[in-house]
Chain A
Amino acid sequence: MSKLLIHGGRVIDPSQDLDGVFDLLIEDGEVAKIDGAIKKPKGAEAFDASGRVVSPGLIDIHVHLREPGQEYKETVRTGTMAAAAGGFTAVACMANTEPVNDNRSVTELILSEAEKWGYARVHPIGAISKGLNGEELAEIGEMLRAGAVAVSDDGKPVMNAELMRRALLYAQHFGVAVIQHAEDLTLTGAGVMHEGEWSTKLGLPGIPGAAEDVMVARDIILAEDTAGRYHVAHLSTARSLDMCRRAKAQGLRVTCEVAPHHLILTDEEVAKSGFSTNTKMKPPLRSARDREALVNGLADGTVDCIASDHAPHHADEKDVQFNLAPFGILGLETTLSLCLDRLVRPGILSLPRLVELLSTGPARVLNLPGGTLKTGSPADVTVFDPDEKVTIRAAAFRSRSRNTPFDAWTLRGRPVATFLGGRRVVV
């Protein structure tokens, strides 16, 4: 029987309202006991977590692993290494691979790759529509049986309202969420950044907040009519957040996630960075007002989880003029430090609330195992230091890509170790 004692750390587990200095005993890959002072059993390994936080393994429910098809950007291997390096023990990966994860065989391929490397758990998200074409439903049941955990056409919105209605109905047979990349493409047009003061000053075509809002509004109406389970990916505007808040109050099964970059940066960053293509993503960096609303949404509980939308792109693809660059930035290796430094340190979020947003919350949204340290649950554990200074070095990322606007940022707080089923993950 393999045993591991993680001792002396501040254990925070929002799933059981736990916050205090405890020892955590792991036996055979499961949490065996949490207590004030556990004597190290004979033959057990020990990990000293003094001065650090011990939390349920962090979960990022919105990443792009790019495999199959775009292995030059990322693979299941490098993506899960990045996850482990960033303190994540599980990720849910989007379906916009090549070929699209719209059938069982692609789902199985992703799972077998993840299994092979064992750096983090991977939960594939299946496509809503065949080939992400937005026209006909993919074989959702088969993908879920093969191990997918939700459905989404992420990268593309489901523009067709009737298809969305059908997806919200059909997904209920399996109890999974329909995740929408909420964007009305007719309002986006040729837009490349948030439409506002800075798009006006820079002369770049804008993506209005309304592009997201009209889609969220439409979908909430459909979720109400279908009693469907609806989740808004990378929610970025104050108004969409308000609509989610009201939908929740109304008792609808609506949840939402927010990405760290939308909580930290605003559209002004495009100008400040001198048109850096690492400030280009979808949805775009929004106004200061939106950013503030999202931060408040974290604190007041409207936002269910933080998800990074980890979107690797090759340097050659990003090293072009702003208009032509692909949308998206990396997230797995910066999320925890950014949240600790920019949200916890200034007192916006408590540590337990941050842990909830990064573990218990995402597990709840997709109904995943994990996000808890309850006795008998898989010992997926993250240890992080809430104070230690770290400088982001994109060149040293485990990810195969380097596209981050946070390179060279010095932050306080960093991941220290992840344990997957009681085994320390080394990357």
Chain B
Amino acid sequence: MSPQSPQRWTRKDLLGIADLSAGEIELILNTADSFAEIGERPIKKVPTLRGKTVINLFFEASTRTRSSFEIAEKRLSADNINFSTSGSALEKGETLVDTAMNLQAMAPDLVVIRHGHPGVPHMLASRIKAGVINAGDGAHEHPTQALLDAYTIRRHKKKIAGLKVAILGDIEHSRVVRSNIHLLHKLGAKVTVGGPRTLMPVAMEKMGVDVSYSLDEAIHGADVIMMLRVQLERQGKMSFPSIREYFQLFGLTTERLKAAKDDVIIMHPGPMNRGVEISSELADGPYSVILEQVTHGVSVRMAVLYLLSGVHEEAM
């Protein structure tokens, strides 16, 4: 289980894609390749992280990401514990720093954290000895999502450099888009973001992307289309008047898809709002790789857990 790559992993934490080099990203993706096969075995378990303790700390509801991490941890034989906001100390008024210090006192090896506020994984990482994996911090970063997206794209397109990727929808509230922009740029893809002006953060072009307010224009010639979930729970009444109107203007439909390349793939980080940002026909259709993303998520997270756990160093 030692991946062949000149790059060595030296970081304690995985806080975001912005900090990573292209070499580090490729190391994770290559490592994920070697883990992917485990998921196809009848006995989906290896002893790699036996004796390592992983805490999954979720301050925001999550089904997909949390299950994906849990499965990845279990397949690697780590001991894992889950904390979520419901009933946790935080709801009793404990500060994040106190929570961090208490976790540290239990000597975990890794902490996977999701929080609604940007910067929380960074704060945790600076306080505790355990490695910290950012599983989403507000609208800031979601590095493992971007990595699994890249893994999925690589599987289909064999490369990332030179691809045209359109990321569409609620850009403002999306951590997925920010991590993906960093990653795709580092690996040489060209990114266009598109969506309603009311959900486009100011100065988006400073992230090095093309910004389009027309779905048709953004999709034109795309190799990859990533639809973002409209975060209905985060919208006031001021971003768009109705779901009906949103779908008419910014929903991905078969008709609109014609502007993309013939071999386009459609991605979505989930959970999907069918009939809001994407039609069911496309979500379930031949261009969709949405469920594959979920499958690859486990391999990519196994790779991240493995690299951050330091066992590859210990074995040397």
A-side interface residues toward B, CB under 8 Å?
195-197, 199-204, 206, 208, 274-275, 316, 319-324
- A204-B118, A275-B123 as given contacts; A320 in contact with B95, CB under 8 Å: yes
Which of B199-207, B218-226, B253-261 contacts its partner?
B199-207
Taking a contact as CB atoms under 8 Å apart, the answer to whether B117 and A321 are in contact is: yes
A-B residue pairs in contact (CB < 8 Å), sample of 21: A197-B202, A197-B203, A197-B206, A200-B201, A201-B18, A201-B207, A203-B139, A203-B140, A203-B141, A204-B118, A204-B139, A206-B201, A274-B119, A274-B122, A274-B126, A275-B119, A320-B97, A321-B96, A321-B117, A321-B119, A321-B120
Chain A residues near B18: list those with CB within 8 A.
201
Taking a contact as CB atoms under 8 Å apart, the answer to whether A322 and B203 are in contact is: no
Q: Which residue of A lies closest to B15 (CB)?
A: A274
Interface residues of B in 183-231 (CB under 8 A from A): 201-204, 206-207
Dominant SS among interface residues on chain B: mixed
* B138 in the interface (beta carbon within 8 A): yes
Q: 1/0 contact trace for B244-270 toward A, CB 8 Å?
A: 000000000000000000000000000
Q: Which residue of A lies closest to B115 (CB)?
A: A321
Chain A residues near B95: list those with CB within 8 A.
316, 319-320
Taking a contact as CB atoms under 8 Å apart, the answer to whether B206 and A322 are in contact is: no
* B74 in the interface (beta carbon within 8 A): no
Of A196, A197, A201, A323, most B-chain CB atoms within 10 Å: A201
Bound Cα distance from A199 to B123, whole angstroms: 18
Taking a contact as CB atoms under 8 Å apart, the answer to whether B122 and A203 are in contact is: no
Interface residues of B in 115-134 (CB under 8 A from A): 115, 117-120, 122-123, 126
Of B18, B119, B206, B207, most A-chain CB atoms within 10 Å: B119
- Nearest CB in chain A: distance from B71 CB, A: 27
Bound Cα distance from A320 to B96, whole angstroms: 6
Taking a contact as CB atoms under 8 Å apart, the answer to whether A322 and B118 are in contact is: yes
- A201-B207, A203-B140 as given contacts; A321 in contact with B175, CB under 8 Å: no
Q: Which residue of B lies closest to A323 (CB)?
A: B117
From A195, A202, A316, A320, give the contact of B118 (CB < 8 A): A202
* B178 in the interface (beta carbon within 8 A): yes
Q: 1/0 contact trace for B75-100 toward A, CB 8 Å?
A: 00000000000000000000111000
Bound Cα distance from A107 to B235, whole angstroms: 44
- Nearest CB in chain B: distance from A180 CB, A: 25
Taking a contact as CB atoms under 8 Å apart, the answer to whether A202 and B140 are in contact is: yes
Taking a contact as CB atoms under 8 Å apart, the answer to whether A275 and B96 are in contact is: no
Chain A residues near B115: list those with CB within 8 A.
321
Chain B residues near A321: list those with CB within 8 A.
96, 115, 117, 119-120, 123
- A195-B202, A320-B97, A321-B115 as given contacts; A201 in contact with B120, CB under 8 Å: no
Q: Which residue of A lies closest to B203 (CB)?
A: A197
Chain B residues near A195: list those with CB within 8 A.
202
- Nearest CB in chain B: distance from A155 CB, A: 23
Bound Cα distance from A323 to B123, whole angstroms: 12
Bound Cα distance from A197 to B126, whole angstroms: 25
From B137, B138, B204, give the contact of A200 (CB < 8 A): B204
Q: Which residue of A lies closest to B206 (CB)?
A: A197
Taking a contact as CB atoms under 8 Å apart, the answer to whether A200 and B97 are in contact is: no
Bound Cα distance from A189 to B137, whole angstroms: 20
Taking a contact as CB atoms under 8 Å apart, the answer to whether B206 and A201 are in contact is: yes
Bound Cα distance from A321 to B97, whole angstroms: 9
- Nearest CB in chain B: distance from A210 CB, A: 11
Chain B residues near A202: list those with CB within 8 A.
118-119, 140
Taking a contact as CB atoms under 8 Å apart, the answer to whether B96 and A203 are in contact is: no
Chain B residues near A199: list those with CB within 8 A.
201-202
Bound Cα distance from A291 to B267, whole angstroms: 41
Of B122, B123, B140, B206, most A-chain CB atoms within 10 Å: B123
Taking a contact as CB atoms under 8 Å apart, the answer to whether A203 and B175 are in contact is: yes
Bound Cα distance from A196 to B202, whole angstroms: 6
Taking a contact as CB atoms under 8 Å apart, the answer to whether B206 and A323 are in contact is: no
Taking a contact as CB atoms under 8 Å apart, the answer to whether B202 and A323 are in contact is: no
Chain A residues near B206: list those with CB within 8 A.
197, 200-201
Chain B residues near A316: list those with CB within 8 A.
95
Bound Cα distance from A410 to B211, whole angstroms: 42
Bound Cα distance from A324 to B138, whole angstroms: 13
- Nearest CB in chain A: distance from B176 CB, A: 11
Chain A residues near B97: list those with CB within 8 A.
319-320
Bound Cα distance from A246 to B80, whole angstroms: 64
Taking a contact as CB atoms under 8 Å apart, the answer to whether B119 and A200 are in contact is: no
Bound Cα distance from A321 to B95, whole angstroms: 9
Other contacts beyond A204-B119, A274-B122, A323-B118: 8, CB < 8 A: A195-B202, A197-B203, A200-B204, A203-B137, A203-B141, A204-B140, A275-B122, A321-B120
